[in-house]
Homo-oligomer: A and B are copies of this chain.
Amino acid sequence: MDAARLEALIGFLALADRLKHVERRGRTVAPDGAPRQENSAEHCWNVALLAVLLHGEVADPPELGHVLAMIAAHDLVEIEAGDTFAYDEAHVLSQAARERAAADLVFGALPPDLGARLRALWEEFEQGETKAARFAMACDRAQGFLQGVIGTGHWRAMGVTEGATNGRMDPARRVAPVFEALIAALYDRARQGRMFAEPRE
């Protein structure tokens, strides 16, 4: 690897470090019981771990290396665009445009071939059409929901009803029976813990 390529790689890695400072709405809980907001880098690791655990549970699984590479890259645009809370409708409407501009900056920091590789992974994830992208999406959404259960309270605090979560979780449920079962078990816990906001009359 020549010097210019190394410089670009190191510059990108210094930029990527900032994903550790992008806060999500879901929370993680310290061993002493104190919750704090999860960040997007932690989330990406956790989604990868879930993918490793569930990969053997689906019929006709996608290629694991491709899935895990996609998961490692899928939130990098948040370094520039920030995390978009899935239940903030106005923010979701502007998300695609913000993230596309961010992608030019973030992936553009890499040597062109490496930038194109990560950008293609991100676009495949966003389009959600391939088997690998659908599996990665299901892991991403299941992990987000899991974090809502573990971190208890952010749905209620944000006014998110159970009904509002279904539109986001239904596509994940449809990917494979294991996702349907896992998500059903998580909903049971969320209901038992009264974690959702009450619907307005």
Contact = CB atoms under 8 A, between A and B. Distances in A.
Interface of A: 1, 3, 6-7, 9-10, 13-14, 16-21, 28-31, 38-39, 41-42, 44-46, 48-53, 56-57, 63-69, 72-73, 110, 114, 117-118, 146-147, 150, 177-178, 181-182, 185-186, 189
Contacts of A1: 57, 177-178, 181-182
A65 B114 CA distance: 18
B30 A41 contact: no
Nearest to A28: B20
Nearest to A189: B10
Copies in the complex: 2
Contact of A48 (B50, B68, B182): B68
Nearest to A75: B45
Contacts of A45: 19, 41-42, 44-45, 48, 72
A6 B182 contact: yes
A21 B46 CA distance: 13
B10 A38 contact: no
| 10 nearest A-B pairs in the assembled complex, by CB-CB distance | A64-B65, A65-B65, A68-B68, A45-B45, A41-B42, A44-B45, A48-B72, A20-B42, A21-B30, A41-B45
B21 A31 contact: yes
10 contacts: A1-B181, A1-B182, A10-B146, A10-B189, A16-B46, A17-B147, A20-B38, A51-B72, A52-B117, A68-B69
